[in-house]
Structure 1
C-alpha cells in the first residue's frame, strides 16, 4: 500500500481492545504493535500515534502499556466498568472519534486500527473533510461497512503482524 506521497502527515489511532480480542479469538496470538505502526506510517511523517487501552488491573497490563509507549504510541486508558448485574463495559468509541476529528485538521491521513463497524460514520465524515482514511484490522472480524467506508484496508492476519 504505497502512500499518496511521502510528505503526507499521518495519525495512527489503535483500538487496542478490538485488536487484542480479534487476534486472540482468530489466532490465539498477540498483535505486533511495532509492525502495525511501521506499516501504518509507511515512509510518511507520523504526527501522532495513540493506542486506546482498557485497564482491567491484570498482572501484565502495565508492561504492555510501557511497551506501547516504547514503540511510539501515546496510551490513553479507561478503567473497565463492572455493573451491578455483572456485565462489564469499556470502550473508546467516542474518545477515539473525537481525537480523529480534532487531528483531521493537522494531518493528511488517519489510520484506524480497528475492525469495529461503529467507526463507519467517522470514516465517511473524515473523508468528506478531505482526510484519507485507512483501516488496518483482521478481515474476518472487520465490518464490511467499515472496509467500504475507508480509502484503503490492510488485513493484519499475516504473520508479520502477529507475535
Structure 2
C-alpha cells in the first residue's frame, strides 16, 4: 500500500446521516464539511466528492444540501421511507459501496467518512484491488472492524475544532 503523496487521486464519500447522528449524540454539534473535505483530500488531487444525504423534510435541509454543493460535494439524495409499523429507513450503504467500487479504477485512495461497520468488507475489497482506504469518523461511534480494515483512520473526536462547527 502506498502512503499519502501529492499526485494521488482521491475520492471522498461522506455518509452524512452517520456523521450527523454521531456529532449530535457525542457533542451536540454539526459537521464542518468544508474542513472535512479539505482534510480528506490533504493536498492531493480530488477526483470526486460525494455526500450521501437523506431528505426528511426538515426546515433547513435544502439549505444544507446547497451548502454541500457550494463546498464541492456532489449530493446524492434519498427520501426517508416510513413503513407501516412507523419505522423509518434511509441508508446509503449499497449506493456508497457501488460508487466506491466503480471509482476504484479511477482513483488511488478512497476516503470513507463514516463509522458504519457495514463498510469494513468494502475496505477489504478496495484494498485487495490496490486502492488505499482511509476512514474519517468519530472513534466512539466507529465499528472496530472498520478501523482495522482501513489503511488509515482519522478520529474526528481528536480534532473537534477542525471537524465540528
| TM-score bucket of the superposed structures, by smaller chain | over 0.9
Paired with 2:48 and 2:4, the residues of 1 have a C-alpha distance of: 19
Provide the residue aligned with 1:80 in structure 2. 80
Paired with 2:141 and 2:19, the residues of 1 have a C-alpha distance of: 9
Provide the residue aligned with 1:10 in structure 2. 10
Gaps of 5+ in 1: none
Please identify which structure carries the higher helix content: 2
Provide the residue aligned with 1:161 in structure 2. 163
Q: Which runs of 4+ in 1 moved over 2 A?
A: none
Paired with 2:25 and 2:161, the residues of 1 have a C-alpha distance of: 15
1:65 CA displacement: 0.1
Paired with 2:83 and 2:147, the residues of 1 have a C-alpha distance of: 33
Provide the residue aligned with 2:29 in structure 1. 29
Per the normalisation by structure 2, the TM-score is: 0.97
Q: What are the within-5 Å matches in structure 2 for residues 113-152 of structure 1?
A: 113-152=113-152
Paired with 1:43 and 1:4, the residues of 2 have a C-alpha distance of: 9
Per the normalisation by structure 1, the TM-score is: 0.98
User: Any idea what SS the aligned residue of 2:95 has?
Assistant: helix
1:5 CA displacement: 1.3
1:4 CA displacement: 2.4
Aligned residues: 161
Provide the residue aligned with 1:91 in structure 2. 91
1:151 CA displacement: 0.1
